[in-house]
Amino acid sequence: MAGRVDALFFFMLGASALIALAVFATILYFAVKYRRRPGNELARPPARSTPFEVTWTTLATVLAMVPFVWGASLYVDEALPPSNALSVYVVARQWMWKAEHDGGQSEINELHVPVGRAVKLTMTSQDVIHSFGVPAFRLKADVLPGRYTTAWFTATQAGQYHLFCDQYCGTDHSLMTGWIYAMDPADYEAWLRAGSAISPVGEGRKLFAQFGCVACHDTGIAPDLAGVFGHPVLLNNGQTVIADENYVRESILSPSAKIVAGYQPIMPSFAGRLSEDQLLQLIAYVKSLGEQSSPPPSTVPGTPGASPPPPQVPTPRAGIVQPLRPTPPTGGRS
């Protein structure tokens, strides 16, 4: 994106310089031509020229639309990562960056990426607002607590590039820096093999089993997660939402916020019980289930070809996407 961003920047800079030059040249011309002198003591009353005013207003509007359309197109392209982008999860905290790859490799204040491959960053903060900034890539994206933001880039040249926090975040803000290493694909694969670990999907699968999620999601008590991620989900209020990272996160931390049609809000909140790393691992696992199969017919009940919601039974049903087992009403552990 750097070349396209620079092209728009230099266009705006050149256009602004030309406009400023034209304005000052006109001021100078009018100051000389209409200066006060003998025989020209009184100004003549101005005459309206509707065609001139319409032409000038229309021309200015058309000229203003050029950078607007150009910038909007660039913004849309920057906001929509390619579907085949390499996924990296980033957690910001005072005062460091932690990155985790799909293969489980974790880095602190460093990020290794392959040249020529789009990289999608899914980012969140554990404390305050940070901003992921890489000047060489013309990349800057805010990283917010309590939600996920995304950004993407494609490194075109191998090298080492400076990473900054571009949002003042506290005492040691200026020390919250790092490096991005763009590597040839072969070198990147070798780096991945050297740092092999359990992937976020694998860690999420372990958490899913550890907290007994299968007892609900694999038995029909809670919604089936296979094929859900990235697809529409019908809620009990009639609205439809897309099951993306923020939806899954909200379903874990605030399970009563959005209830899937046909289910009851019996899932407890797990806010404060899971770290940001664990939340990202659970989301990665749910995402992998969505990629393994097409959305089930009952994802949006009531649509053509959809199967009806699960039959009602006396047992209370679970709420929305539920990664953890409800606490037994009598206390203790089951």
- For residue 128, the domain's CATH number is 2.60.40.420
Which pLDDT value is given to residue 196?
A: 63
Which of 126, 161, 194 is the endpoint of a domain?
194
> How far apart, in Å, are the Cα atoms of 51 and each of 46, 57, 60, 160?
15, 10, 14, 57
Which pLDDT value is given to residue 76?
A: 92
Q: What is the pLDDT of residues 45-86, one digit of tens each?
A: 777 888 989 998 999 999 999 999 999 999 999 888 998 899
Tell whether 97 and 189 lie within a shared domain.
yes
Which pLDDT value is given to residue 195?
A: 66
Distance, in Å, from the CA atom of 221 to the CA atom of 319, rounded to the nearest integer, reads 9
Distance, in Å, from the CA atom of 235 to the CA atom of 262, rounded to the nearest integer, reads 8
| Through-space distance between the first and last CA atoms of the chain, rounded to whole angstroms | 53
Tell whether 129 and 209 lie within a shared domain.
no
Q: How many domains does the chain have?
A: 2
Tell whether 238 and 205 lie within a shared domain.
yes
Q: Is residue 65 one of the residues assigned to a domain? A: no
Paired with 131 in beta bridges are 142
pTM for this prediction: 0.67
Q: CB neighbours (10 Å) of residue 235?
A: 15
- What is the phi/psi pair of residue 148, to 5°? -110, 140
Give me the domain span that covers residue 134.
86-194
Paired with 120 in beta bridges are 87, 152
Distance, in Å, from the CA atom of 260 to the CA atom of 279, rounded to the nearest integer, reads 20
Which pLDDT value is given to residue 203?
A: 82
Which of 166, 194, 222 is the endpoint of a domain?
194
Show Cβ contacts of residue 318 under 8 Å, excluding neighbours closer than 6 positions.
216, 221, 222, 223, 263, 264, 266, 267, 326
Provide the angle, in degrees to the nearest 10, between the axes of the packed helices 2-33 and 50-79: 160
Return the DSSP state at 91. E
Distance, in Å, from the CA atom of 140 to the CA atom of 85, rounded to the nearest integer, reads 18
Q: Is residue 320 one of the residues assigned to a domain? A: no
Which pLDDT value is given to residue 153?
A: 95
Low-confidence ranges of the chain (pLDDT < 70): 195-197, 290-334
Tell whether 141 and 180 lie within a shared domain.
yes
Tell whether 190 and 204 lie within a shared domain.
no
Tokens for 207?
């958490």
Tell whether 92 and 128 lie within a shared domain.
yes
Tell whether 210 and 172 lie within a shared domain.
no
CATH number at residue 288: 1.10.760.10
Q: Is residue 256 one of the residues assigned to a domain? A: yes
